[in-house]
Chain A
Amino acid sequence: MFRKPKRKLYSLIFVLPTFAAFVIGFIYPFFSGVYLSFCKFRTTSNAKFIGFDNYIKAFQNEGFIRSFWFTALFVIVSVVLINLIAFFVAYALTLGIRGSNVFRTVFFMPNLIGGIILGYIWQLIFNGILKNYGTNLALNANYGFWGLVILMCWQQAGYMMIIYIAGFQSVPGDLYEAAKIDGANKHQLLRNVTIPMMMPSITICTFLTLTNSFKLFDQNLALTGGAPGVVSEGGTMVYQTQMMALNIYRTFYENANSRGVGQAEAVIFFIIVVVIALAQLAFTRKREVQQ
């Protein structure tokens, strides 16, 4: 009779350390962050509540709006490209070509390098090429955009490839056999057997690439640093290749009055990421089939 409550008590005790860590490392910073977005502050211990001012300023911040559209465009392009590349590389490497293990390792390796280093290395590469044409990453926003896309494809495709390979291998062979007996051709096999069976992998991969691309910071900072900038009507400069995370960071440290604005931007950013990611999860989940 006493066993059940005791068990519950134990489980609570065991969960406590992790729970404490979660509260200290996530719950508390999160809520204090949300609170700070309604404050004027310079150091977090000395904050004054001012209501929605910061949010109004955030939406008036040209750089922030611009960075949103830039990020959105980047996310669309990179999610599509990364997943297509990863999917087809994974497909090729499960065909049983010789040396596919070596290729898997090679494709995966870029993932192990830090974003800042990658950013600088690719900056050298791109600028080395562009130099021949008398131009530079810091001079044209298109170069910065495609540079970021190439960099991210190069880095992320290998990781997604590993997930897709696992997906390919988990498709039972008898399904293919059955489909072939029914007269399905290669194209039909892919569309009606492989892809539906791989929906879980596709869910994970799109989810990962979507959120990764949205929250991109290191690579952006190192590759272009937001450059080039354009001087807008009011005389303020707006960075052309600045993604949201970098813009928030910059806004936060811009001046003593802008900390709260940066914080408000961060909260808006969080909401956008959550909404998009949940929507995407719900969308792809619907297409998953039970094995």
Chain B
Amino acid sequence: MKRKIFKSIAAVGMACFIAVSCMAGCSTDGGTEKKGTVFYLNFKPEQDKAWQNLAKAYTEETGVNVKVTTAAEGTYEETLTAEMDKDNAPTLFQVNGPIGLANWDEDCMDLEGTDVYNELTSKDYALKNTDGVVKGIAYVIETYGIIYNRTILQKYCDSDFATVKKIEDINSFDKLKTVADEIQANAEALGVKGAFTSTGMDSSSDWRFKTHLANIPVYYEYKDENITSTKEIKGTYLDNYKNIFDLYITDSTTKPTDLANKTGTDSETEFIKGQAVFFQNGSWEYGVLTEAGMKDEDLGMLPIYIGVEGEENQGLCTGSENYWVVNANSSEEDQQATLDFMKWCVTSETGTKAMADEMNFVIPFKSAKEATNIFVKTDKEMTEAGKTPVSWNFTTMPSENWKDGVGVALTQYAAGTGKWEDVVKAFVDGWKTEYAKVS
């Protein structure tokens, strides 16, 4: 009896296997005959669903097959490496800037003169390799700074103990520190736990400090030296970096010794629950915050002031680390299909609408829909008011290893088990060592 059951299971299994493999064979034969296909390896897990829907809509409209695969958070490089080795490699994938492009340069086709390149509002959003060939196209522009809870901050401004009486008056590190210190001292009166949400050093959160916050001192140094990247960083503004980091960990909801394991979600939750006023993050948080019930009028964003001269004219940090690149090794039909798909995404009604509303993206293309994102609007207003946006220079940071080094040193420093000198060492010496490794 037992043997009989086993036999029949085996038989059915074999039959299924043959049927499936036959069907898979048939379908690919039919699909790739004339039209090319698109295979997009998406970087942003939070937008996976939106991309899947958009791909479906495109297939319905044009009959071209679009496959979207999303790498799990923090594993893009691994997934890309594995996928690029396969026969059906992604036709469209992304790199995060000059350093990322250096890794995949040979596999990226020249995009100059393509429709999607011509659609860019500014050619500055194209990414060139070291030889000056256009290889990548930024498809989303993002902004970060210190997100604040307008309601609570206003409550602070209206209180007797407040030195700063208007939100607009916060335009330097000193004022920011005064406000944060006073909020921290009067936390109970304001109904908060601290001025800043936890500066979590878990890997889901530490990029906010080892990458995004570290961008500010790098930005000012580049500005001083009039350069856009460097093999050796001096660390001129590292004291300022220390000041802002100290402020984050001192005027906080959480004891510095508990920060090592705090996650991004912890920090996000504290902000949503109104336990803190300030939360360093970016425009991509808008979806999460509004879905949790926060209203546009509750939200605002301040530039990250670190105490540099003339910083009252500093704007938010705006830039991109998401560049589309097209696989140079794909067949011509596939490349064409991919370029058509990219064009459709940024010009068609369906495409632009999905990117603006569903993905909350601000896209740097001529037919872009106005975004509803409040942080993006703030950025626009500030730029119009004459403030200079801080560019994203962290795409020129030498490697992930460098960022990890700074992150680890910051973690130890916050917990009191490490010294600030180690952060400096990781920042300055590490930059040189890591740069030498990749070049």
Contacts and interface: CB of A to CB of B under 8 A. Distances in A.
Contacts of B258: 131, 134, 136
A25 interface: no
Contact of B426 (A137, A231, A258): A231
A139 B85 contact: no
Contacts of A225: 203
A258 B439 CA distance: 11
B302 to A, nearest CB: 30
A259 B428 CA distance: 25
Given A43-B84, A136-B415, A138-B411, A234 B261 contact: no
B81 A42 contact: yes
A170 interface: no
Given A231-B425, A235-B429, A257 B437 contact: yes
A235 B85 contact: no
Nearest to B89: A43
Contact of A136 (B261, B427, B433): B261
Contacts of A237: 401, 404-405, 408-409, 426, 430
Interface in A184-233: 225, 227-231, 233
Contacts of A140: 417
Interface string B155-168: 00000000000000
Interface in B259-287: 260-261
Interface in A238-275: 253-259
B399 interface: yes
Contacts of A43: 81, 84-85
Contacts of A18: none
Interface residues of B, number: 39
A22 B429 CA distance: 47
A84 B167 CA distance: 66
A289 B355 CA distance: 73
Given A235-B405, A235-B428, A139 B415 contact: yes
B239 to A, nearest CB: 18
A234 B422 CA distance: 11
A256 B405 contact: no
A38 B260 CA distance: 39
Nearest to B256: A134
B358 interface: no
A137 B257 CA distance: 12
B32 interface: no
Contacts, number: 101
Given A231-B422, A236-B401, A258-B437, A253 B257 contact: no
Interface in B13-44: none
B438 interface: yes
A44 B255 CA distance: 47
Contact of A234 (B103, B409, B433): B433
Nearest to B255: A134
B102 A256 contact: yes
B429 A234 contact: yes
B341 interface: no
A235 B437 CA distance: 13
Interface in A131-169: 131, 134-140
B408 A229 contact: yes
Interface in B380-439: 399-401, 404-405, 408-409, 411-412, 415, 417, 422, 425-434, 437-438
Contact of A139 (B84, B102, B104, B411): B411
Interface string B180-194: 000000000000000
A257 B436 CA distance: 11
Contacts of B409: 229, 231, 237
Contact of A45 (B78, B85, B255): B85
Nearest to A255: B438
Contacts of A233: 429
B296 interface: no
A227 B261 CA distance: 11
Contacts of B104: 42, 256
A127 interface: yes
Contacts of A45: 85
Nearest to B83: A43
7 contacts: A136-B257, A136-B261, A235-B428, A236-B401, A253-B81, A258-B437, A259-B81
Interface of B: 77-78, 81, 84-85, 102-104, 201, 203, 255, 257-258, 260-261, 399-401, 404-405, 408-409, 411-412, 415, 417, 422, 425-434, 437-438
Interface of A: 42-45, 127, 131, 134-140, 225, 227-231, 233-237, 253-259
Given A139-B412, A237-B404, 5 more contacts: A136-B261, A227-B408, A228-B408, A235-B433, A255-B437
Which 9 interchain pairs have the tightest Cβ spacing?
Answer: A235-B429, A237-B405, A235-B430, A229-B408, A256-B103, A138-B260, A136-B260, A134-B257, A231-B426
